[in-house]
Amino acid sequence: MSDIIQLLPDHVANQIAAGEVVQRPASVVKELIENAIDAGATSIKLLLKDAGKTLIQVIDDGKGMSPTDARLCFERHATSKIKDAKDLFNLHTKGFRGEALASIAAIAHVELKTKQEDQELGTLIKIEGSEVSSQESVSAAKGTSIAVKNLFYNIPARRNFLKSDTIETRHIVDEFQRVALAHPDITFLLHHNNNEVYHLRKSNLRKRIVAVFGTRMNEKLVPIEEQTDLVSIRGFVAKPEFAKKKRGEQFFFVNNRFIKSSYLNHAVVNAFEGLLDAGSHPSYFLFLEVPTTSIDINIHPTKTEIKFDNEKALYAILRATVKHGLGQYTIAPLDFDRNSTFDTPYDYSKKDQPSVPPITVDPNFNPFKTEPSSFTPETTSEPPKSTPAVPKTGSSSPTPSTPKSFTSNYKKDPGQWEALYTDMSSSEPTSSAPLFESTYQEPLFDDSRETETGKTFQIQKKYLLSTIKSGVVLIHQSLAHQRVLYEEFLENITVKEASSQQLLFPVSISFPSSDIEIIYSIKADLESAGFMFEEFTKESVVIRGIPTSITESQITFILEQLLDDIQMEVPDASFSHFDVMAKSFAKSLAIKTGTSLSSKEQENLVNNLFSCKEPTTSPLGKPIFKTLTLQEIDGIFNK
């Protein structure tokens, strides 16, 4: 039998390696920017066309490369960052694998121009599919400029798997933000299709965060800092009142390298215990410095996961540090149900208690006597224990609470005491206590609830149980409402002309520059849904009209949910962005688990659900209800 194992050609091996290194244009951006940082650059410029599919160019002012290094850097396993295996556990650089440029050159057209400071001329190298097409000496500025064109040109199947330009741009911006936050001492510029998205000047960490996420972020930040033998922690967390419903602005950096860690995230969330409303997520920008020998960053191809030697101690230190930082800046646990209007005003907190007003009473008064009693009013500062604190009816000396008709009729003819009662109906009511108490007392609570048993029941404020001829149907109320709203929104956007309501005062909402660009790219679709925009700036969107189905207080949450869904790649092939918008609106506005529904609301929801075209599944494909027949129910008890 002949041999079947053979060595792969270099270009095939490079394409296989590219599958691990280059997943999408954002992967190329990450590798090239990290190389520029390792080269000691103080200014880095990123140029994009068509979300990186046509062009990704990174220009830096680093130390550059010699002609030999420029040619050698495109070979597999070629790197200047490590020399032996021990260096993997003592890393101070970012790009160290030696496969990035070789993998990129295998699936794109690459043009490299580089020059060292002590050289008169630079080097220009052009590569197509791992093959060097030309190398020559050219005039160039100090540093390196590398342009990656026509990504995946020789792997069309891989190119077809790329998402829309909006989604791919979002991934690139995410990588750009992570690197920019880790290095506030470097100037970064980002241009997409000749439009400037970011221009981040050299600054400190706080100013860099504000420059990336908008000026409103400045008021949200609480500084965090702690120094221990195991770890040094610095950075910022956002105040609890600015927590969001999505996990957006959450950044961990270990030795200036962005990582993802659900374990450390749990420590931060635990530090906010008692400060956050249900379903909210805190924002944070935390930098951890640990000894390089205590971590292993080579356990994941993208190097975004790290293994720590002492995770439990790190968890406890991080939790205590964040908790201490929140307490140090007088951010105490909040009572979300407390009404501040019941608080005693500060000006009155130290004043003396008010004195009891004097009360005038006639203890010998009898309304059935034919002659008025001679009574000299007594003034007392305290009411007798047996006497109520309200004026008695029929006092010979009328008090401010005594009706005028009461006094005048009594003075005309004291013997006609019936007039005391007959004229009371024409007297005007006063703000004091009533003179006569009625035997009827209104109930304290409205007891007008339905007493009849309907066909629908709510279970744990989460599910609806409805009876049908063949048995019962169990419905998830939130998913059912999502389906109803989704079909209504989709019909209003695509079939009907969406109605819009004009706002009395335009609303300005702040977003990061990258989110502003996404909103602007789907502006026409949002206007079709009923939104009306007045102005777009680099940091905010001014809205002057909204769909009639939403309220002004829901605008921010709905747009954030829409941006999150676009970023999470909700399928959008059917109706362009209309489908994504309808799903986001439905998910944002649907009733949540824990909402109590009346019998009529339950029946309306059930009827509306089964009037939908697709009542079985939610907009995101989850089952909405489960039917149990009488036979299935009998089978439970007849086992």
CA 36/CA 180 separation, integer angstroms: 12
- 496: CATH: 3.30.1370.100
Is residue 349 one of the residues assigned to a domain? no
- Distances, alpha carbon 497 to alpha carbons 196, 226, 523, 612, in Å: 35, 57, 16, 20
Reference 74, options 48, 38, 109; nearest CA is: 109
Reference 130, options 154, 114, 147; nearest CA is: 154
CA 153/CA 158 separation, integer angstroms: 9
| CB distance 174 to 248 below 8 Å | no
Q: CA 59 from chain center: how many Å?
A: 34
Q: Are residues 45 and 191 in the same domain?
A: yes
Is residue 441 one of the residues assigned to a domain? no
CA 186/CA 183 separation, integer angstroms: 6
Q: Are residues 30 and 140 in the same domain?
A: yes
Write down how long the chain is. 639
Q: Are residues 610 and 523 in the same domain?
A: yes
Mean pLDDT by 10 residues, the chain (639 residues): 77 68 89 91 95 95 91 78 59 63 89 93 91 91 94 86 85 93 95 91 94 88 92 93 81 91 91 82 93 75 76 92 84 47 50 64 73 52 46 45 46 50 47 43 44 69 87 91 87 72 88 82 82 86 86 84 71 55 82 87 89 88 89 83
- Distances, alpha carbon 214 to alpha carbons 368, 534, 559, 594, in Å: 81, 19, 16, 34
Q: Are residues 464 and 597 in the same domain?
A: yes
291 Cβ contact partners less than 8 Å away, ≥ 6 residues apart: none
Is residue 387 one of the residues assigned to a domain? no
Here the tokens at position 124 are 């220009």
- 255: CATH: 3.30.230.10
Q: Are residues 180 and 216 in the same domain?
A: no
Which of 274, 301, 328 terminates a domain? The answer is: 328
Which of 200, 224, 253 terminates a domain? The answer is: 200
At residue 76, the pLDDT reads 73
At residue 184, the pLDDT reads 95
Is residue 429 one of the residues assigned to a domain? no
Is residue 348 one of the residues assigned to a domain? no
122 Cβ contact partners less than 8 Å away, ≥ 6 residues apart: 64, 113, 114, 115, 137, 138, 139, 140, 141
Is residue 256 one of the residues assigned to a domain? yes
The residues that bridge with 134 in the sheet, in sequence order, are: 126
Give percent helix, percent strand, percent coil of the chain, each to the nearest 5.
Answer: 35, 20, 45
Reference 493, options 367, 552, 391, 580; nearest CA is: 580
The count of domains in the chain is 3
Here the tokens at position 48 are 């994009």
At residue 543, the pLDDT reads 92
338 Cβ contact partners less than 8 Å away, ≥ 6 residues apart: none
At residue 441, the pLDDT reads 47
Give the 3-state DSSP-derived string for 544-579, with helices as H, strands as E and coil as C: EEEECCCCHHHHHHHHHHHHHHHHCCCCCCCECHHH
| Segments forming the whole domain that contains residue 271 | 210-328
- Distances, alpha carbon 112 to alpha carbons 76, 146, 389, 511, in Å: 17, 4, 94, 36
Q: Are residues 217 and 195 in the same domain?
A: no
Which of 154, 178, 200 terminates a domain? The answer is: 200
- 150: CATH: 3.30.565.10
Q: Are residues 54 and 121 in the same domain?
A: yes
Burial 211-249 (b: 16+ CB within 10 A, else e): bbbbeebeebbbebebeeebbebbbbbbbbebbbebeeb
| CB distance 61 to 189 below 8 Å | no
| CB distance 536 to 487 below 8 Å | no
Side-chain-facing half-sphere of 344: CA atoms under 13 Å: 7
Q: Are residues 241 and 169 in the same domain?
A: no
| CB distance 127 to 110 below 8 Å | yes
Q: Are residues 566 and 492 in the same domain?
A: yes
Q: Are residues 194 and 243 in the same domain?
A: no
At residue 433, the pLDDT reads 45
CA 76/CA 18 separation, integer angstroms: 11
Q: Are residues 494 and 571 in the same domain?
A: yes
CB count within 10 Å of CB 415 equals 9
Here the tokens at position 299 are 């356990």
Report yes or no on whether pTM surpasses 0.75: no
Is residue 157 one of the residues assigned to a domain? yes
Q: Are residues 89 and 142 in the same domain?
A: yes
Is residue 224 one of the residues assigned to a domain? yes
